[in-house]
A and B are shown apart, each in its own frame.
Chain A
Amino acid sequence: MPDVNRGNRPLSPHLTIYRPQITSISSILTRITGNALLISSLLVVWWLLAAATSPEYFAVADGILTSIFGKLVLVLSLWGLCYHLLAGLRHLYWDTGGSMELAWAEKLGWACVIGSFVLTALCLVIIGVLA
């Protein structure tokens, strides 16, 4: 629509020159982790399909998922899952109208970041015990 007059409105500072803050970083991390989790989600589906197909095919999929590279992807994904879960709970809490103040938003941002590492370690311990 070339003939639309969009006026001479001021533009917000562009992402690349805007100072990173915990509010903005914790927000974009939610999106990055959520979308990147597609990779491990597809790996899990592939692993299940292989298990449902044959012992030989399962050996291939299981071998890749439990290789050093596979474990690296899965542990990183576990962190992404923990972060996305905490950030998602933060959104559900925000949707109730609570803690929208800047000081609280910053505290919750740090809680998601630090909490994600704590939760990842906790999950790895529990999985280790169960395995």
Chain B
Amino acid sequence: MAYLTDRKRAEGLGSAKEGTHHHWWMMVSSAGLAVLTPFFLFTFAPMLGKPHAEVVAYFAQPFPAIVAALMIAVTFMHFKNGVQALIEDYVHGLARKIAMIAMICLSYAAAATGLFAIARLAL
């Protein structure tokens, strides 16, 4: 019943020569986030519950705005790659592709929304 060739059997199961890049990018983004996180946490969190005018004036300053923009961009790209590993492990077939596309779109949409908000607050 061996209708499949040996090559066909092996295709898609081995290295696509991109795993190293994925791992390297996770290392780079996690190292970046390790530095960014305290800066973002201690600039963003104290603003929760503050009056609107104060929040707008605060994020109009260069440092909080740049930190927030970097945090948003790196976080959602780190999430995009991290959730990819989760989906690859637990979701299979067509559902995997749908989940992967949905999560990639969500990551870019959230990053774009966050960056737009920061740009509008800062400029």
Q: Which residues of B contact A72 (CB under 8 A)?
A: none
Name 10 extra pairs, CB < 8 A, besides A41-B76, A45-B110, A49-B113.
A48-B121, A49-B114, A51-B52, A52-B120, A85-B37, A89-B34, A127-B42, A130-B45, A131-B48, A131-B49
A62 engages B49 (CB within 8 Å):
yes
Central interface residue in B1, B75, B114, by most chain A CB within 10 Å: B114
B59 engages A51 (CB within 8 Å):
yes
Say how far B109's CB is from chain A's closest CB, in angstroms. Answer: 9
Cβ proximity bits B2-43 to A, threshold 8 Å, 1 near / 0 not: 111000010000000000000000010011011001000110
- Residue pairs across A and B with CB atoms within 8 Å: the count is 96
A92 engages B31 (CB within 8 Å):
yes
Interface size class, chain A: 35 or more
A51 engages B48 (CB within 8 Å):
no
Q: Which residues of B contact A92 (CB under 8 A)?
A: 27, 30-31, 34
Closest 4 CB pairs of A and B: A48-B117, A52-B120, A130-B46, A52-B117
Interface check A27, CB cutoff 8 A: no
Central interface residue in A48, A58, A131, by most chain B CB within 10 Å: A48
Say how far A54's CB is from chain B's closest CB, in angstroms. Answer: 8
B52 engages A91 (CB within 8 Å):
no
Known: A1-B4, A85-B34. A66 touches B86 (CB 8 A): no
User: Whole-angstrom distance between the alpha carbons of A92 and B34 in the complex?
Assistant: 11
A81 engages B37 (CB within 8 Å):
yes
B42 engages A58 (CB within 8 Å):
no
